[in-house]
Amino acid sequence: MAEVVSSVEFVSPVGQGTPLGETSALGRSPGQAGSGAAAAPGVSRPSVISLSIKEKAALYAAYMRFVDGGGLFIPTTRPAHLGDDIYAIVSLMEEPAKVPIPGKVCWITPAGVPGRQQGIGVQFARNEAGAEARRVIEDLLSGVLQSARPTHTI
């Protein structure tokens, strides 16, 4: 099966704690002054993931066409829960601009599943950014969307 990505960077939400040695979205350790204002009580900020997909076969393997509105599988070892907010910034093959994808975790493949890569599936938000992400990906995958080849999820 094609490798999904060449690189994935998981950046914790601004103002949220991060494990020791990691940085926030502003590039500062959690305890550093000026690391960003804490989120208002009851308001969570999405986790940010930067993702690069360089090949059409990898994009096909990652795209979740069966998800309402579209979705993308993102390999990660980070813990996540269904419904968590995610903001992915995705570089797709030869596309000049990165594609911003807001969404929610809709799929989790835990470690140790035979024949499957650990990671999360992100359902695209039902807004203009989600619709644009789906359009760009489906345009890049035209001609192979109905293929019977296996993907990272099904």
The domains found in the chain, sorted by start residue, are 7-15+44-140 (2.40.10.220)
Asked if pLDDT for residue 44 goes beyond 70, the answer is no
Q: Cα 97 to the chain's mean position, in Å?
A: 16
| Identity of residue 91 | S
Q: Is residue 68 scored above 90 in pLDDT?
A: yes
In the prediction, which pLDDT does 41 show? 57
Alpha helix positions (H), the chain = 56-62, 128-140
- pLDDT bucket at 8, cuts 50 / 70 / 90: very low
* Separation between Cα atoms, residue 38 and residue 36, nearest integer Å: 6
Give the DSSP H or E segment for 90: strand 85-92
Task: Please report the pLDDT score of residue 76 as a whole number.
Answer: 92
The mean per-residue pLDDT over the stretch 27-31 comes to 34
**For range 29-45, the mean pLDDT:** 47
What pLDDT is attached to residue 20? 28
Asked if pLDDT for residue 121 goes beyond 60, the answer is: yes
105 or 1, higher pLDDT: 105
Q: pLDDT confidence of 89, banded at 50, 70, 90? A: very high
d(CA 14, CA 9): 15
The band of 146, judged by pLDDT with boundaries at 50, 70 and 90, is: low
Q: What percent of the chain has a predicted confidence (pLDDT) above 70?
A: 64
pTM of model > 0.95: no
